[in-house]
Structure 1
Amino acid sequence: MSDTILGRLIGGPLDTQIIPLDAATLDAIDDELVLPWEQGQLIYRRAGDAENTGEHDGPTTVPYRFDAEL
């Protein structure tokens, strides 16, 4: 697994965005992301297993699906 773990956002205002996650291992990945947005926050929830977890296949990516805007 690469040192970088990324979140791939699906749906909502940030659809298709890739963001770095503040975690060093897959065990430290949160099931929910709360992201600032204009006058509120966006909620994205983990939506599947991590991809690219091998030694030489690029950064590990975890999918998150849009859930709500607060």
Structure 2
Amino acid sequence: MKTIQKCVFAVMAAAVLLSAVGCEGMSRRDKNMAVGAGVGAVGGAVLTGGSALGTVGGAAVGGVIGNEVGKGNR
């Protein structure tokens, strides 16, 4: 089970990094929100053992936090 979690974490981290590269036309605030959602999704998945609800919840919370952090970057 731990091996599967590590693989899922690695795949999610790679997806977040690759998606950040494709954000060329986005504002800094939008980028912060996207990165926050990605990190939150990975964190939620890890903390809840891969639960879909935990992953979606983590993404939502991370997106909100990234959006709020992005407000200061004008």
Q: TM-score, normalised by structure 1?
A: 0.29
Larger Rg: 2
Name the one with the larger strand percent.
Answer: 1
Name the one with the larger helix percent.
Answer: 2
